[in-house]
Chains A and B, each alone.
Chain A
């Protein structure tokens, strides 16, 4: 019983320590996602042309390896 209590307590402590960091990371990812969407919406042409260029490069590399 003591062992399980200790394990529970340790898990609780770890959870309490890690939870704020996870929350912070989630907030960061969310803000990054929002800013990326905003940038794409502001510059659609740039983003599409850049994406085509990136895809072209990937295709070239793949065809060379193949």
Chain B
């Protein structure tokens, strides 16, 4: 059953319904475009996820990934050029030097000490030999 509002007697119903139809079509278009945008965004996000392989990274090295994320946040928060960064870097360099250089130094020192001991031992041996020769020669003397 048609109401007066749907089909008024003055004959203006046709243009109004046409605009309504146009509006409806445009709304449909907008909806379709929004759907497309959403799909593309989702696709690009899934591509991004595949590229960085977050799950794989986390399963391989969970603490490392979290530490890297903290670092990214720290840089984003503007903490890069601050005294705290310089302190952390200094501490890291110190620890790195201790871990990397000290064993090398120890090895070098041990080698030097070994060579010194050998030299001293050889010298003592030679000295002992000479001393015994001297005593022998003295004893042989009439």
Chain A residue with the shortest CB-CB distance to B57: A44
Contact indicator per residue, chain B 65-90, by CB within 8 Å of chain A (1) or not (0): 11101111111111111111100000
Please indicate the chain A residues that have their CB under 8 angstroms from the CB of B101 in the complex.
Answer: none
Q: How many residues of B contact A (CB 8 A)?
A: 27
Of A36, A59, A66, which contacts B75 at CB under 8 A? A59
Q: Which of A37, A44, A53, A62 contacts B54 (CB 8 A)?
A: A44
Within 8 A of B (CB), among A14-64: 36-37, 40-41, 44-45, 47-49, 51-63
B residues in contact (CB < 8 Å) with A: 54-55, 57-59, 62-63, 65-67, 69-85
Known contacts A60-B78, A62-B84, A63-B77; A55 and B58 CB within 8 A of each other: no
